[in-house]
Structure 1
Amino acid sequence: MTYINDLGDVGQGDLAAAGGKGVGLGGLIRAGVPVPPGFVLNTAAYAAFVEANHLEAAVQELAALPPQDHEDASERIRALFAGGTMPAAVAAELGAAYVRLGGDTAKGDTAVAVRSSATAEDLATASFAGQQDTYLNVRGAEALAAAVTDCWASLWTARALAYRAREGIGPDTVSLAVVVQRMVEAEAAGVMFTANPANGRRDQIVLSAAWGLGESVVGGTVTPDHAVIEAGTGRVLSRLTADKEVMTVYADHGTREQPVPAARRRQPVLDDPAAAALAGYGTRIAEHFGTPQDIEWARAGGEFFILQSRPITALPEPAADTPETWTVPYPKGLYFRASIVEQLPDPLSPLFADLIDGSVSRSLRALMAEAIGKDVLRAGDVGLPTINGYAYYYYRTSGMWRMMGRSLTAVRALLRGKAHMGVAGWREYSHPRYERVIRDWLAKPAAELSGAELLEGVQALLDAGTVYYTAVQSIIPLAATSEISFGAYYGKFVRREGDPPAQTFLLGYDSEPIRAEKSLYDLAAWARGVPGLAPAILGEPTASLAESQRTGSPPAGFDQALWRQWHPRFQDHLDRFGHAVYNLDFASPVPADDPSALLDTAKFYLRGQGQDPHERQRRSAARREEETSRMIARLGPRRRAAFMRLLRWAQNAAPIREDALADVGLAWPLLRRMLLELGRRLVDAGVIARPADVFWLRHQELQTAVAFGLAAPEAPAVVAITGADRPVRAAAVEERRMLWRGQAKAAVPQMLPESRWMERAFGKMMPAGPPDQAGDTIKGIGASAGRVSAGARVLTGPQDFALMVPGDVLVARITTPAWTPLFAMASAVVTDVGGPLSHSSIVAREYGIPAVLGTGVATQRLASGQRIRVDGDAGTVTIEHPPAPGEP
């Protein structure tokens, strides 16, 4: 049996023998970078030790103990290893290899590093960094053998046991090799990431450097120098030189800490040429392994040595720098993130940004011309421009003054339902017109339309949706006024101590989001009654079910007869409710495109979790009617008449607002299909890589592609246009996505230009609070009463919905009707944007859960898993350190 492998002989296929660290070092040697000489004592040696000392059964039994017993299990396993004897054959090969490395078995004067190399280590999916032990400055064969035995035992540290349990790796599947390398007399050392872990940028290399050995950097005992290098060019983009107080150096055996000489504490460890040279090694290593790497390095005698390299796990997608300055494009005007912008919480995709600006301008000017006069709003007076990617309502100062001069005319037009405003205008004009435009374009199969016709259809559908939303905006203030009026009258002239809040009288009514919830609940209840169907759905991954729903074919292994029953019923639900938007930007899929979020909620109901919405609604309605009867019996004729008139007004208006908002996205499934059809043709033409990349093109680029004939029904398989004539560069899409991700992290001002007078004049009208809140308590608006302490779940959109766990506090920038299924799982709701009359507050009250809305900063200040206290009465969210005693 051979127990020793030379590092240069270890390849990718040797993981089972050499472990992750050994394979990584072998790859570094083949990449042509300087690696200290060494060898691997392979896993056969570990197996021989375990067998010779009869440890297998005891180790496996102890390793299988539950997490609370890991510390005890680890100590007992280490004791077993400490009491074992290394087999003679293993000891002989280890000693001979040490001699070949330069070790003098008599004097023991050659220092080596002894590193654990587990078979489940330095993997692309999980690094297991720091789970096993490393021993430095080991001298002599006897000390080497002892360090090897300690490395073997470290396979069973409590932290390694816990890590493997989380990753689902059984104790009977792991083994350990040991890497032995000649120590480098390092004058400096550190860590190098070949992609920036802060922003995911693959074109940036990040270096950390300190004096002495690298243990001070890895162990966190010193604040190292920090530099960001541009990959390829070696240009230093930024650097921070730290005050390095201590350094790790060799002791007689092992290492020790000592102060850094005063003259070197604030001296850069690496100058620009040295940093560029080291970054060059990083680029070579990343290219060799084909994935970004986390590298440990040392410098001795002016030369660099690479000590190890492992894949970077959990690297975020690349993001540009987060914007901090907010320069307005048109100086003579005011910018607000309100109204339709509330439905656009994220930076806009480029195509949507180009199309929506003109669409909103045309719609508003047409509505105002009909309502208050043709010459009041002029071209350029209003728009929806973007600043750092975010949409703002823009009003030119002169246009705003003209509109304010006609405010009484506008109020009269609103109350009379003029210019298709108000409930009657929505019901009789806006909604039917919207449906008619959709029907007209549905009659034209997208696959048969030319590129120009598809673009025409997209613009027509978006314009119809914008006109519809403009009309809906007239319903929102009517509903808000009715609820505010009733609440004010009830609070001042009717309510006594012990009476319910005003919202009690407005609950228990049907609206489109509630009807959608009941439909999904009923679907799950039906499925539970079909033998075998509920287990089949619960046992299938949600992504697989969503894809099968789209194609119509059942997932592999799914019973055909059961699928024929499930598929059409779920499709009926999607046909009726699948147009609800998570975000008005058409780059975001709607449930009709990707029903994953609805399927997760259906699974929630299939498991028997959540309330029956029919019963909840029945209870709310019963209490509403009971309290109403009690008030009527108590009040005199005049107060009773006023109470009932205001109550009926509020009860009629609130559900209509929800119905109107729920249908804003009626055109979105068709609009997205038409754009994706364009995208598929551009993929065939070699212009973009994926159909969905079409959303990241500029409108002018798309028009150019159509003009070149690249979006015809029979687009060319290969683009003949090259160089500067090519209408679009596919690489531009990735650059724009990267820019978007950086913008998405920004703290977004609600009003621009930022000034005190703007805050005083309009601050209270904005749907989100100021972005500069500090401390553990975040203030917002209490929109649904109650108090809850629970873990936060910060969701950026439907792609995160599967992370929601029953009992979590739902934290989001905003929730639209499409988010309603998550309310069944949530213990409370917190948003950046919203108020007491927004969708979130209405649905939260229906569910009886606390809601704090309009915080402005919740998604930036809170993290998933963080325990928070939501007080819907006070309108506050408090970060708990630690959780309050006795809280659920």
Structure 2
Amino acid sequence: MDRYVLDFSRIDKSSLPLVGGKGANLGEMTQAGFPVPSGFCVTTEAYRDFLEQSSEMPAYWEQLDRLQADQLDDIAHLGRIIRDHLVSVPIPESVRSDIVRAWRRAGGDHAYAVRSSATAEDLPHASFAGQQDTYLNICGEEQLLQAIRKCWASLFTDRAISYRAKNRFGHRSVMLSVVVQRMVFPEVSGIMFTADPISGHRGTVSIDASFGLGEALVSGLVSADLYQVRAGELILQNIARKKLAIFALPEGGTVTKELPEEEQERQALNAAQAIELAALGEKIKRHYGSDQDVEWCLAEGRFYIVQSRPITSLYPLPSVAVPAGESPHLFISFGHQQMMTDAIRPMGLSLLRTMFPFGKSDVRAENENTAAAGGRLFIDITPLLALKPARTLLPKVLSNIDEMIGAGVGEYVGRESFVRHLPRKPGVRTAVVRFLGPILLRAVRNLLFASPDKAHPFVNAYLRDSDSRGKKTISASAGAERLILLQDQIGLLLRRMFMELMPYPLAGIIASRLIRALSNRWLNDPDIVNVLNKSLPGNLTSEMGLLIGDLADTARSYPQVVELIRSVDPLQFRDKLRKVVGGDVFGEAWDRFMEVYGMRCPGEIDMTRPRWLEDPGTLLPSIDSHMRTVRPGEHRVKFVQGVKEAETAARQMLERLRLQPFGWLKARLMSRLLRVFRGLMGLREHPKYLMMLHFSIIRGVLREEGRQLAVAGVLEKEEDVFYLTLDELLRLLQGERAGQLQALLERRKQEFERFCELTPPRIMTSEGEIITARRKRQDAPEGALLGTPVSAGVVEGIARIVLRPEEARLNKGEIMIAPFTDPGWTPLFHSAVGLVMEVGGLMTHGAVVAREYGLPAVVGIDGATERICDGDRIRLDGTRGYVLVLERNGGER
């Protein structure tokens, strides 16, 4: 009987290949002593033997393998054919007899719940919840066998096929067991999450409860009471109007009934019961070592557990330990600040954590005030918030980077419970003053006294010298010695960069704020700054965009070069150029560009990403887009026009000021601010450029060490080095051989693939709570998508969704809708007439470049790339900060 049927008492988590995720969990909980109704599982061996009865399944498997997750019509058609076929396939006699014997031994006079249990179900990272079918109150032998057959067929429901395809589970690899469990006829049932599934708070048990069988709740037929328990106390209860309930019928099956009026708003659980159930949930969580989604029921005063599975929707916790008694630590997303929210490989995260200057016991150590979670970097700002002035100033500063981050931090620090238990770490105030003081003093000096004309030569010389020293430092060594030098270089990079470079653009930023405030006060014209922003001199990112326009203009004269740009494998592009007419001319321009900007790429803050010099696949589509949407030389003409418009606006501003009382003094002050602003704001991109110069050096060293380790057989391939941390690589280079290294690397690769599918929060706590700020009401039409206005102007046009630059196909007059942008996206700005981004703030890259180019822009619209459809006609208002869909692609309004 063991081959086809197993009782719960003989099942544990190791039984998953035989009984699937649901069956393994029920057996595991039974053996752990949790109150689980008794039952047995029909094993995957029975399912396998059942399928072998069909001669048509091999052809069906091949058809399934060809389907994509979004081919919904094809999935529905094929799924229906397979299900209709399987319900007519006979159950093998040996399987049938074993099932009947187990049923009789369990009690043939009882009713049973029959549920599907797939081998890829209720797993830590893929729940498959609700993908197969459930049959309740099954009575008698024939009902039981028919329900089992239907469960087997339900592996081929539309939703199950699509879910497997989306999550890359091979259709043949997923096997199906069937759980046969004695029915409990509850007064109340529901679902319990041992962590709040909405906020992510790990210390909050969230319970949904309704009358009758739980299927009404699971299937969405009824609203449920909500109870939340934290630390053994009921902190929330919302009593819902429960109109319907599902009840068992004496003859088998179920019926949906409308509850009497007086029952509909009756509380399903009292406080004591909610607390008791939450305590049971905590025990289940401790047993599994992870948060659980638990199905439960209450019958005759006793709670029963009918299922438990991992909660797969929670964003991973930051890897930090918070001492008992302290407030939960508050983390902000580094990716949202850097306009790159994609997952980063472990080596990229390790480099960034080493680069941060605070919270380090050693220059080569990873920063203790940063943490990795879900493949992203988060910064722990809790130590700063222990300073009372920081609780006021920091939200305002962060709002310039991302309005929703600033607002969320501001709301959270207003919680009395947070402030009361903040850690008091000595020396934080002194460290902040020592670090920021010299930077602010130099910024004020640059603002008031220093010549802006001397800034660019000094900063450019510093960049060249820093790049030269970085290369020289690592050129004379190899192996562990070189990596140690590299760690030193990384650990000092950001501190030096802030001290030497940041006072220049910071003075420009302060000047821009003063110009806006004074022009509003004296001239009632704060928006003049928008014109003054155009075509700032010396901005490296803008100059990069102009050079890409020059490349496009060079290519236009040579049709064979244009064809290569549009069709060749990017990795072969430079070699193919040598064989076409005009390739030598374009190749020289290409090489000059790569010498200056080849170390850049989209998402460049992730050092593990290939640079343009290695793979121009993300650059060539931008050149093509430029050729299709911008006239020859137009980019240069627009830039010169922007300079003239800014100079004219500045001159007119000063003329208007001179006509006012004390006008000579106002004009003199404003003239200084204008010189500083126009002279220094263009240096804003230089620190990031310097980082990329060093990232190129670092990436080259790591690839070379990875190549050597691969030759030595320590790594399977060179790129595996990016799934290690800097310290782990150092130990390998020093001769240590970690056990199970390949298993570790494989696990991290799988984790990275999973992390790529996650959407990171802007703000989260060490308890997993995701902090979401409420956006302020704006002057916007009904139905508009609200965001942060960062570049003034209104434009209407066709929305073009761009998720990755290499896939961009912008046409003239289109508005780019992107998840984020960084300098690697800049080439696309010439082709767009407006910009919408899901993340960002007033001073982030996309906003600054949009203002320089005169493009209306709105940022911070969550889910913009999904809420706006490709081809929609939209109105983008960069002055008031909204996007309105005027006409859906296809004609719908």
TM-score normalised by L of structure 2: 0.60
The alpha-carbon distance between structure 1 residues 164 and 474, as it changes in their structure 2 partners (threshold 3 A), is: closer
Shift, 1:171, TM fit: 3.0
**Cα separation, 2, equivalents of 1:226 and 1:154:** 31
Q: Does 1:84 align with 2:89?
A: yes
The match for 2:77 among 69, 72, 81 is 72
Quick one: distance in 1 between partners of 2:459 and 2:148? 78
Q: Which residue pairs with 1:591 in the alignment?
A: 605
* Larger deviation, residues 42-51 vs 508-517: 508-517
- The equivalent residue for 2:130 is 130
Q: 1:420 aligns with which of 450, 456, 461?
A: 450
Residues 822 and 618 of structure 1, relative CA distance in 2, 3 Å threshold: closer
Q: How does 1:796-835 map to 2 (within 5 A)?
A: 817=823, 820=826, 823=829, 828-830=834-836
Larger radius of gyration: 1
Q: Give 2:707's aligned residue.
A: none
Contact 2:599 2:611 in 1 (8 A): no
Structure 2 gap ranges (5+): 319-327, 332-384, 414-424, 475-481, 556-560, 575-589, 646-651, 656-673, 697-723, 728-760
C-alpha distance in 1 between matches for 2:176 and 2:484: 61
2:232 to 231, 234, 238: 234
Does residue 851 of structure 2 align to residue 852 of structure 1? no
1:258-273 matches, within 5 Å, as 258-273=257-272
Q: Tell me, in whole angstroms, the C-alpha distance in 1 between the residues paired with 2:25 and 2:455.
A: 66
Contact 1:114 1:181 in 2 (8 A): yes
Alignment of 1:188-267 (within 5 A): 188-230=188-230, 233-252=231-250, 253-267=252-266
> Does 2:685 align with 1:662?
yes
Point out where structure 1 has 5 or more consecutive residues left out of the alignment.
105-109, 372-413, 493-501, 539-568, 583-588, 632-638, 643-650, 674-689, 694-733, 750-768, 795-800
Q: 1:353 to 1:515 in 2, by over 3 A?
A: farther
Contact 1:870 1:878 in 2 (8 A): yes
* Matched residue SS, 2:268: coil
Pairing 1:378-527 to 2, within 5 Å after superposition = 419-420=449-450, 422=452, 424-427=453-456, 461-473=497-509, 511-516=539-544
Contact 1:578 1:591 (C-alpha < 8 Å) held by counterparts: no
Aligned length: 677
Which of 845, 865, 875 does residue 871 from structure 1 map onto?
875
The answer to whether structure 1 residue 54 and structure 2 residue 71 are counterparts is: no
Matches of 1:234 and 1:537 in 2, distance apart?
Answer: 64
Secondary structure of the equivalent of 1:420? Answer: coil
Seen in structure 2, the aligned counterparts of structure 1 residues 132 and 341 have a Cα distance that, compared at 3 Å, is: closer
Question: Contact 1:195–1:201 (CA<8 Å) still a contact in 2?
Answer: yes
Distance change (3 Å), C-alpha of 1:745 and 1:668: farther
Supply the AA of the counterpart residue of 1:114.
Answer: V
- 2:174 maps to a residue whose letter is V
- Alpha-carbon distance in 1 for matches of 2:19, 2:219: 25
Mean CA deviation greater in 436-445 or 52-61: 436-445
8 Å CA contact 1:137, 1:250 repeated in 2: yes
- Given the superposition, is the C-alpha separation of residues 266 and 861 from structure 1 closer, same or farther in structure 2, using an over 3 Å criterion? same
Q: CA deviation at 1:133?
A: 0.8
Cα distance change of structure 1 residues 317 and 792 upon mapping to structure 2, 3 Å threshold: farther
- d(CA) in 2 for partners of 1:146 and 1:67? 28
| 1:236-315 equivalent positions in 2, closer than 5 A | 236-252=234-250, 253-315=252-314
1:661 CA drift (Å): 1.4
- In the alignment, which residue of structure 2 is the partner of 1:738? 765
Contact kept? 1:784, 1:841, Cα under 8 Å: no
Deviations 1:87-130 (A, max 9, x none): 322222221111111114xxxxx210011112232222221211
Superposed displacement of residue 260, structure 1? 3.3
Deviations 1:445-486 (A, max 9, x none): 99999x9999999766534344223333377589999x99xx
1:165–1:600 Cα change, 3 Å: farther
Distance 1:138-1:282 versus aligned 2 partners, 3 A rule? same
The alignment status of 1:619 with 2:654, answered yes or no, reads no
Identity of aligned residues (%): 25
Q: Distance in 2 between matches of 1:665 and 1:570?
A: 22
Which sits farther off after the overlay, 873-882 or 240-249? 873-882
Q: Rate the CA distance shift 1:220–1:872 in 2: closer, same or farther, 3 A.
A: closer
Letter in 2 for 1:469: P
Tell me the SS of whatever aligns to 1:173.
coil
- Aligned partner of residue 305 in structure 1, secondary structure: strand
Question: What letter corresponds to residue 400 of structure 2 in structure 1?
Answer: E
Contact 1:591 1:597 in 2 (8 A): no
Structure 1 residues 20 and 189: alpha-carbon distance in aligned structure 2, compared to 1, 3 A threshold: same
Pairs within 5 Å for 1:676-695: none
1:274-329 deviations in whole A, cap 9, x for unaligned?
22332233223233333322111111121111111222223123597999xxx999
Per-residue deviation at 1:80? Answer: 1.7
Cα contact 1:508–1:620 (8 A) shared by 2? no
Distance (whole Å) between structure 1 residues aligned to residue 516 and residue 886 of structure 2: 38
Distance 1:574 1:130, change over 3 A: farther
Question: Which residue matches 2:617?
Answer: 603
Q: Which amino acid in 2 is paired with 1:130?
A: G
> How big is the shift at 1:155?
1.3
Report the equivalent of 2:400: 342
8 A Cα contact 2:16 2:119, kept in partner = yes
Rounded Cα–Cα distance in structure 2 between residues aligned with 1:859 and 1:662:
24
Name the structure 1 match of 2:8: 7
Distance 1:299 1:599 in 2: 64
TM-score by length of 1: 0.61
For 1:239 and 1:784, how far apart are their aligned partners in 2?
A: 47
Determine helix, strand or coil for the equivalent of 2:633: helix
Look up the equivalent residue of 1:73 and give its one-letter code.
L
CA contact (8 A) 1:200 1:315 kept: yes
Other-structure match for 1:546: none
Q: Which has the higher contact order (CA 8 A, sep 6+)?
A: 2
Measured in 1, the distance between the counterparts of 2:726 and 2:236 equals 35
Counterpart of 1:297, as a letter, is W
Query: Are residues 138 and 266 of structure 1, via their aligned partners in 2, closer, same or farther at CA, if it must alter by over 3 Å?
Result: same
Asked if structure 2 preserves the Cα contact closer than 8 Å seen for 1:189 and 1:211, the reply is yes
**Cα pair 2:208 2:226 within 8 Å, conserved:** yes
SS at match of 1:83: coil
State yes or no: 1:885 paired with 2:890: yes
Aligned partner of 1:43 in structure 2 is: 44
Question: Are the counterparts in 1 of residues 75 and 158 from structure 2 also a CA contact under 8 Å?
Answer: yes
Alpha-carbon deviation of 1:37?
0.8
- Residue 796 of structure 2 aligns with an amino acid whose one-letter code is R
